[in-house]
Amino acid sequence: MENKENKRNYNVFFNTHTVSGIVISVGLFICFFAGAFALFMDNINHWEANDKNGTDYAIIDYERVIKVVENEGYNMQGRQLGIFLREDNPSYIQVNSQPLEVKKDSTGTEKTQKPSEQDSIAKAGFFLKIDPESYEIKAKKFDPHTRQLGTFLYHLHYFNQIPTFGIYLAGLISIFFLFAIITGVIVHWRKIVANFFTFRLKASLKNLWTDAHTALGVIGLPFQFLYAVSGSLYGLTILIFIPAMLVLFDGDQDKMISYIAPGFEKTEMSNKTLENRQNINQLVERAVAQYEDKTVTSVFLNLTNFNDANAQLNINMNVETEKAFYSNANVKYSLASGEVVSEQKLGDNSYTDSVILTIHKLHFAQYGGYFIKAIYFLLALITCFVILSGVMVWLEARNNKRYEKKKMFNTNVGAVYLGICMGLFPAIAFFFGLTKVFPMDVPGRFGTMGSIFFTFWFAYILYAYVIKDFHKINKHALFLGGILGIMIPFVNGAQTGLWPWESLTQGYVDTFFIDVSWFFLGLISLITALSVQRLVSHKNKRKEKFQIKRLEKKEDISTEIPVMAVTDSSTAD
């Protein structure tokens, strides 16, 4: 009875593992493969723009920024303002503000009188891009499209190119990934140790893929679990915060923000105008001076109740240090007196803070420099292999007479899956090279390059669908990616003059790092592509041998029979 129960559970979980795994496989592969490159987002952005690594925060003249904003005709009384330097190509100072709340008079005059157009603009929320050199306004609209390669790959890894739903799709894939991991462990549990040391090269192809799938799956398990949980969190944050806001904070967003990020909570206005305001630049200097012996990499300003007697300035700093895991610090000044209202020192985090920061640091590999990121990259590729080998197990298990009718369909699905997954590698390598050779002055340059990238990728999928040969799909993708990857440092050197030896001596660390990494990545995949042999099922081989032997034997027997008969007859005689 118990045995039957076990068998039932095994089969049920096996089935759910297979179905959930196959459904998410392609999406998950894109998440992990593009995500592996997105780990080096900043490095890639620096490489693309040939920037030196900026480690120190850029000094901004905040007073001048505020003057520029005031000159635009916005009503500044009681405004909230967020100011920080956003890294982009080129970087800009971002100033954003929420709309001013319209206060209703007791007489209700506000309702009857329609505000004039000028008035509504003055009270509206805004977003401004300001040049950090000339302090001129460059754009007044937030543009969600990126113009940087690293950021593009980062967006690709959660399908941000699909508006609105992309991130939810990534979240759903993550939650099914978590389900697939746990059902996988349940199915594999009894043989988890024994199978870890099993690699049947000389059995059927299905056994080969299964052994690779399980062994590498076990190695990557903690890493995959981390990404399944944190990926669900980032994709489906809405599921945590909306119910929590409605139930625990009575639907009051400000209340929740003051709990999650106390530095950003709203404070009451005194409704008196501030006469003498402290100099914001000096306050920022004071805040940064606390961490003189460390490196402050970025500063984020949040001003509330501007020009009100109760105006406050929150300064959020990212401090790079080797001694602390958490790198954020926060200080809030009163703009009237310059006194500290509240403070969160480096390393002194609340429980909420530490949970959010820990997940962030683990997901983005921001705690051990290049070394940790390289390990993450490797583990992400291993995960990609686990996903693909899972698909191969599924295909091989259906590559027999029982599935003869569905063979065409299964082969097509397999070819398209492999085309999407393997085609991403040469497509990314191609995009890297493209950013260096594409003319700079083409309008909508990055958007065009993005379209070319997707076209290249789609062409490879089409190619895979046409040839339908899994071995060739893999081999040609590695070959193409290898050639394009090796070319990247040469293209960069020829176009910009920053050959690896030049970039290293001149201090362009990221340029050197990306160029050299691509060279070796390309070399490895090229060698792999050239030395790879078509996989053959040894089981089938043995079968063939066995059949040939049997045939030979039969022939032997048939030739022997008359002799035997003769001898028989002779003995009979």
Looking at the DSSP assignment, which residues form a beta bridge with residue 93?
A: 85, 130
What is the CB-side half-sphere exposure of residue 452 using CA atoms within 13 A?
15
Q: Is 362 in the site for other proteins (CB under 8 A)?
A: no
- Contact between residue 148 and residue 88 where contact means Cβ atoms under 8 Å apart: yes
- Contact between residue 555 and residue 548 where contact means Cβ atoms under 8 Å apart: no
- Contact between residue 312 and residue 335 where contact means Cβ atoms under 8 Å apart: yes
CA distance 244 to 475: 50
Q: Is 359 in the site for other proteins (CB under 8 A)?
A: yes
Q: Which is closer to other proteins, CB of 22 or CB of 483?
A: 22
Find the shortest distance in angstroms from Cβ 367 to other proteins.
Answer: 17
Q: Is 49 in the site for other proteins (CB under 8 A)?
A: no
Q: Is 23 in the site for other proteins (CB under 8 A)?
A: no
- What backbone torsions phi and psi does residue 546 show, to the nearest 5 degrees? -60, -45
Task: Using alpha carbons, list the distances in angstroms from residue 291 to 208, 328, 330.
Answer: 55, 11, 12
Q: Is 240 in the site for other proteins (CB under 8 A)?
A: yes
- What backbone torsions phi and psi does residue 325 show, to the nearest 5 degrees? -75, -45
Q: Is 190 in the site for other proteins (CB under 8 A)?
A: no
Q: Is 398 in the site for other proteins (CB under 8 A)?
A: yes
Q: Is 251 in the site for other proteins (CB under 8 A)?
A: no
Find the shortest distance in angstroms from Cβ 214 to other proteins.
Answer: 13
Q: Is 494 in the site for other proteins (CB under 8 A)?
A: no
Q: Which is closer to other proteins, CB of 10 or CB of 291?
A: 10
Q: Is 363 in the site for other proteins (CB under 8 A)?
A: no
Task: Using alpha carbons, list the distances in angstroms from residue 525 to 39, 350, 379, 426.
Answer: 20, 46, 17, 10
Q: Which of 23, 76, 218, 356 binds other proteins (CB under 8 A)?
A: 356
Q: Is 382 in the site for other proteins (CB under 8 A)?
A: no
Count of H helices and E strands in the chain? 21, 8
Q: Is 7 in the site for other proteins (CB under 8 A)?
A: yes
Find the shortest distance in angstroms from Cβ 247 to other proteins.
Answer: 5
Q: Is 122 in the site for other proteins (CB under 8 A)?
A: no
Q: Is 351 in the site for other proteins (CB under 8 A)?
A: yes
Burial 72-92 (b: 16+ CB within 10 A, else e): eebebbbbbbbbbbebbbebb
Find the shortest distance in angstroms from Cβ 243 to other proteins.
Answer: 5
Q: Which of 216, 218, 236, 324 binds other proteins (CB under 8 A)?
A: 236
Residues 6+ apart with CB under 8 A from 475: 529, 532
Find the shortest distance in angstroms from Cβ 182 to other proteins.
Answer: 6
CA distance 12 to 32: 27
Q: Which is closer to other proteins, CB of 183 or CB of 492?
A: 183
CA distance 3 to 278: 77
Q: Is 18 in the site for other proteins (CB under 8 A)?
A: yes
Which one of 11-19, 58-66, 105-113, 559-567 is the stretch in contact with other proteins (CB under 8 A)? 11-19
Q: Is 102 in the site for other proteins (CB under 8 A)?
A: no
Q: Is 11 in the site for other proteins (CB under 8 A)?
A: yes
Find the shortest distance in angstroms from Cβ 14 to other proteins.
Answer: 4
Q: Which is closer to other proteins, CB of 241 or CB of 454?
A: 241
Name the DSSP letter for residue 244.
Answer: H
Q: Which is closer to other proteins, CB of 59 or CB of 240?
A: 240
Q: Is 208 in the site for other proteins (CB under 8 A)?
A: no
DSSP calls for 30-61: HHHHHHHHHTTHHHHHHHHHTPPPP-SPPP--
Find the shortest distance in angstroms from Cβ 539 to other proteins.
Answer: 14
Find the shortest distance in angstroms from Cβ 349 to other proteins.
Answer: 11
Find the shortest distance in angstroms from Cβ 195 to other proteins.
Answer: 14
Q: Which of 13, 227, 326, 453 binds other proteins (CB under 8 A)?
A: 13
Q: Is 12 in the site for other proteins (CB under 8 A)?
A: yes
Percent helix / strand / coil, the chain, rounded to 5: 65, 10, 25
Rg of the chain, C-alpha, whole Å = 31
Residues 6+ apart with CB under 8 A from 509: 52, 53, 503
Which one of 148-156, 188-196, 236-244, 477-485 is the stretch in contact with other proteins (CB under 8 A)? 236-244
Q: Is 239 in the site for other proteins (CB under 8 A)?
A: yes
Q: Which is closer to other proteins, CB of 349 or CB of 383?
A: 349
Residue type, 130: I
- The CA-CA-CA angle for residues 151, 156, 162, to 5°, reads 115
Interface of this chain with other proteins, residues 253 to 282, rule: CB under 8 A: 259
Find the shortest distance in angstroms from Cβ 482 to other proteins.
Answer: 35
Which one of 2-10, 44-52, 79-87, 455-463 is the stretch in contact with other proteins (CB under 8 A)? 2-10
Interface of this chain with other proteins, residues 155 to 184, rule: CB under 8 A: 174-175, 178-179, 182-183
- The CA-CA-CA angle for residues 378, 487, 368, to 5°, reads 30
The 10 Å Cβ neighbour count of residue 152 is 28
CA distance 525 to 569: 69
Find the shortest distance in angstroms from Cβ 248 to other proteins.
Answer: 5
Q: Is 375 in the site for other proteins (CB under 8 A)?
A: no
Task: Using alpha carbons, list the distances in angstroms from residue 250 to 238, 242, 352.
Answer: 16, 11, 20
Find the shortest distance in angstroms from Cβ 17 to other proteins.
Answer: 9
Residues 6+ apart with CB under 8 A from 268: 310
Q: Is 397 in the site for other proteins (CB under 8 A)?
A: yes
Find the shortest distance in angstroms from Cβ 563 to other proteins.
Answer: 47
What is the spatial order of strands in the sheet that 312-320 belongs to? Answer: 137-139, 126-130, 92-97, 81-86, 295-304, 312-320, 328-334, 340-344
- Contact between residue 90 and residue 129 where contact means Cβ atoms under 8 Å apart: no
Q: Which of 75, 96, 195, 230 binds other proteins (CB under 8 A)?
A: 230
Q: Is 206 in the site for other proteins (CB under 8 A)?
A: yes
Residues that bind other proteins (CB under 8 A): 7-9, 11-16, 18, 174-175, 178-179, 182-183, 186, 206, 228-230, 232-233, 236, 239-240, 243-244, 247-248, 259, 351-352, 355-356, 359, 397-398
